[in-house]
Amino acid sequence: AQTVTQSQPEMSVQEAETVTLSCTYDTSESDYYLFWYKQPPSRQMILVIRQEAYKQQNATENRFSVNFQKAAKSFSLKISDSQLGDAAMYFCAYHFQGGSEKLVFGKGTKLTVNP
Amino acid sequence: GAVVSQHPSWVICKSGTSVKIECRSLDFQATTMFWYRQFPKQSLMLMATSNEGSKATYEQGVEKDKFLINHASLTLSTLTVTSAHPEDSSFYICSARAGTRVEKLFFGSGTQLSVL
């Protein structure tokens, strides 16, 4: 069974600094998707970034980028120039398109941004 | 962008009553919708997957008779918590998929259920 592990229950960063959130996963598949979702206090799930496993190039979305290491099954999220609005729970998620339709979520990392 | 509306955003009910939560895709047709449950400070746990016009597929450990899911149209899925008890108190989130690709997945804003 696929599993997603986020080893950092909580992280903090100073405003304008950079922070990296860790995520590892376990799968025997070769073609899959990985996601980072943000859940602010409103509890609305917001897609931050997505990575297709067949793409070697790391995905980037403005201040958000990932370090995708397929062999190591690692998928970390880097937030540059952190802003107060980045404070939220961040969930890493896995999806295998050819199997079960569900997203498998990690337990989440609570990010605090200090002014 | 695509919008998924979930209603109500919060509900308080008495133990033993039933509560219905609606999930609507406002600007796309959703052949598949997903229902999640989230306990405080925990991750999302998939409860069931519903496909329009067919019976929902429940995850292991989820009581089908307790959590009734109906996906009667391409834009509406409902979750009914029957004979609710305090242990059913939780945050429930739906998501809807436009088409078959996971990148077309959108989340509702969630429903906080409190059972007294």
Residue from B7, B5, B42 nearest B112 by CA: B7
Divide the 116 residues of chain B into consecutive groups of 10 and give the mean pLDDT of each group.
Answer: 89 97 93 91 91 89 94 92 96 89 84 97
The answer to whether the Cβ–Cβ distance between A102 and B34 falls below 8 Å is yes
Instruction: Compute, in degrees rounded to 10, the torsion defined by CA atoms A47, A51, A57, A59.
Output: 0
DSSP A19-83: EEE--EEE-S-SS-EEEEEEE-TT---EEEEEEETT--SPPEETTEEEEEETTTTEEEEEE-S--
Other Cβ atoms within 10 Å of B70 Cβ, number? 14
The answer to whether the Cβ–Cβ distance between B107 and A44 falls below 8 Å is yes
How sure is the predictor about A100, in pLDDT bands with cuts at 50, 70 and 90?
Answer: low
The answer to whether the Cβ–Cβ distance between B43 and A45 falls below 8 Å is no
Residue of A45, A97, A101 with shortest CB distance to B93? A45
Predicted pLDDT of residue B51: 87
Phi, psi angles (nearest 5°) of residue A85: -75, -5
Residue of A nearest to B6 (CA): A44
> pLDDT digits over A15-38, tens only?
999 999 999 999 988 889 999 999
Residue of A nearest to B4 (CA): A44
